A = this chain, B = another copy of it.
Amino acid sequence: MKTIGHLINGTAHTGSGRSQDVYNPSTGAVDKQVLLASKATVEEAIAAAQAAFPAWRNTPVQKRARIMFRFKELLEQNAEEICRLIGEEHGKISHDAMGELSRGIENVEYACGAPELLKGEHSKNVGPAIDSWSEFQPLGVVAGITPFNFPAMVPLWMYPMAIVCGNTFVLKPSERDPSSTLFIAELLLEAGLPAGVMNVVNGDKEAVDTLLQDKRVQAVSFVGSTPIAEYIYSQASANGKRCQALGGAKNHAIVMPDADMDNAVSALTGAAFGSSGERCMALSVAVAVGDAAADALVSKMQAQMQSLKVGAFSDSSNDFGPVITKAHQEKVVGFINSAQEQGAEIVVDGRRPTVSGYENGFFVGGTLIDRVTPEMTCYQQEIFGPVLLVVRVDSMQQAMDLIDDHEYGNGTCIFTRDGEAARYFSDNILVGMVGINVPLPVPVAYHSFGGWKRSLFGDLHAYGPDAVRFYTKRKTITQRWPSAGVREGAQFAFPS
């Protein structure tokens, strides 16, 4: 059985004795073990990062960026292997894994632009012959803590930008699917990164708490569920670190009466069931305005879902794979049960999917539930499974009120052809990422990713321009030169 360890100071590292099973969710089998770093092991990683900082910070930014150019090449060359590792441990189908990786590579591409992104602001003559400028200097050691659902992409949101800005990094990825993350980090070293600049520690709460408490860690980026995000944010803040912590979501799509319904149905199918709904940007609630729109939507969705195919990661003809654990499978089914009990209508039922040859896999089939109301459990919580809820309202304002009243504010979308409806919606809705006829409005790598309300704690969003600001601190210099120097021919006297 394979053992997955750490990457510290440029070399593989096994550290302490605790470990944990890593499952293949398509088969239910345990093929690997992941080591769980002790406090001492994490501190070793932090020390390596701290030691690597001074030289890395002084490396010209263009040189730092060139390592990212090379990293991109290696990621592309190794894409197939990365997708296989993701599939084995996470369960997502290769086309989905490739989509994830592509989004991750976009962030590496953006980091290649560091020389432009790190430009400071220069002001001439802020006073007579006085100049002033602001530099954006790296912080030092920064940490990332990332979730199971995007083992390649979410870490790539963080460390390429942190590192290209001159910081050194300690990453604690999800212990459920650690292999692709570790493999990718090794590629970065292969791209020429000096030892110690990038470190990976696998682990659990002990590792997390060490990162949150260690004085040498200057900043923490986190993506996961809202309760953990809140814990991370308040702990890191209380310890004087800067922190951005991204949490959960419940993303609604409004379907207006004038929507192009075929387009909406096609978009919703991918956005609700892709990656088994285990995405913080998954569209999990469709809000239809008017019963006519609702009836059309539900009947067309039902038809479309006939051809949805759930199955093992290794068959690329599948649309989506298993969920991450047995426990999570049961939780998702529990949400569907509760919806039924609380009076909603199960239009398409995915509770007992047949995946022949993979009877122990953690599968849930695509599920469509109509006539959901805001009081239901399935509406109030994040399901994180392949389940689409339909809520029926009478007006666009009601639809918007629903969205604004939910605790989360990550993503949302409207389907309409009407410019006015789109503008009113995008202007007023209390959600950070808004789609207009775009079901998964994940910002491209050159914008930034972040929800509102309890979907994000912190001022600055993930990746893109905000990440540059998050991973640097401003230093402002004001300069005046005394006259009577060499220009006027004076010999400036040393005190003697």
Using a CB–CB cutoff of 8 Å, the interface residues on chain A facing chain B are: 58-62, 65-66, 69, 72-73, 106, 109-110, 112-113, 115-135, 137, 230, 233-234, 237-238, 240, 242, 256-258, 260-261, 263, 290, 292-293, 295-296, 395-396, 416-424, 426-427, 431-438, 441-450, 452, 454, 457-461, 465-466, 469-470, 473-487, 489, 491-492, 494-496
Contact = CB atoms under 8 A, between A and B. Distances in A.
B135 A122 contact: yes
A119 B476 contact: no
A242 B434 contact: no
Contacts of A492: 258, 260, 417
A237 B240 contact: no
A482 B438 contact: no
B457 A459 contact: no
A40 to B, nearest CB: 27
Nearest to A133: B122
Given A459-B469, A491-B494, 10 more contacts: A65-B109, A113-B116, A116-B116, A118-B123, A396-B486, A420-B487, A435-B479, A441-B477, A442-B478, A459-B470
B435 A478 contact: yes
20 contacts: A60-B125, A60-B126, A69-B109, A110-B116, A112-B113, A115-B446, A118-B123, A121-B122, A126-B444, A130-B438, A131-B423, A260-B484, A290-B495, A292-B496, A416-B419, A417-B482, A419-B422, A426-B475, A434-B478, A443-B476
B395 A475 contact: no
Which of A118, A122, A438 neighbours the largest number of chain B CB atoms within 10 Å of its CB? A122
Contacts of A460: 459-460, 469
Contacts of A476: 432-434, 441, 443, 447-450
A257 B133 contact: no
A446 to B, nearest CB: 4
A233 to B, nearest CB: 6
Nearest to A440: B478
B474 A461 contact: yes
Contact of A436 (B120, B432, B435, B479): B479
B481 A61 contact: no
A424 to B, nearest CB: 6
B109 A485 contact: no
A128 B446 contact: no
B258 A486 contact: yes
Given A441-B478, A443-B478, A457-B240, A120 B118 contact: no
A120 B465 CA distance: 12
- Those 7 A-B pairs whose CB atoms lie nearest each other, nearest first: A113-B113, A420-B481, A237-B237, A120-B122, A260-B482, A436-B479, A122-B122
